[in-house]
Amino acid sequence: MLKDLGVKPFVFPMPVLMISTYGDNDKVDVMNMAWGGICAENMVALNIDEDHKTSENIKKRGAFTLSVADIPHLKEADFFGIATGNKMEDKFERSGLHAVKSSRVDAPVVTEFPLTLECKVVECQNTAYGFRVLGEIVNVLADENVLNEAGKVDCTKLNAFVFDQFQNGYYAVGEKVGQAWNSGVPLMK
């Protein structure tokens, strides 16, 4: 029997994405966010509050990087969701992580994260539903350790985790349970 839970933002899994930007004086800022993702073949959409330091930086610089956090850096990724750059000047430094400047956009790349999308801002939208950033993916960087023999990202090597909005937990991702555009083929007959 189905139970009515009302209006909740319940979708599973939710990505755990790290948005990295530069603030004033090229200060690295990283924010943990779950309400966003791919919205077209070469586009991402970020739904974040406009009062975040990251939002301010995105509007000023017109660029950001979007990284997939991995389990070895779960503590730091969670910290980026707890701490705010508006109140903590040394937020990134406290994490102990490292960043280099992207060669394609005006944003930092956190070197410890295994997969990073370099994005330029296409549009910032203020709607009745909140602040939204649309970014064009101009390049993807991947740690060689997460690539398969064909040079493609192997999600079992990413060591990624997802967010559970039901109970505020993080869960590991990686076990393959089917093949897209193939597992349902028998039902086509």
Identify the band that residue 42 occupies on the pLDDT scale cut at 50, 70 and 90. very high
Q: Residue 16: pLDDT above 90? A: yes
Does some domain include residue 57?
A: yes
Tell me how many degrees the CA angle 142-79-16 measures, rounded to the nearest 5: 45
The string over 4-22, giving b where at least 16 C-beta atoms fall within 10 Å of a residue's C-beta and e elsewhere, is: eeeeeeeeeebbbbbbbbb
Domain encompassing residue 113: 14-188
- The domain tally of the chain equals 1
- For 50, the token pair is 């406009």
Beta bridge partners, 114, equal none
What CATH code is carried by the domain that includes residue 104? 2.30.110.10
- How does the average pLDDT of the chain come out, rounded? 94
Max distance between CA atoms of the chain, in angstroms, equals: 61
- Residue 1, domain member (yes or no): no
Query: Global pTM?
Result: 0.93
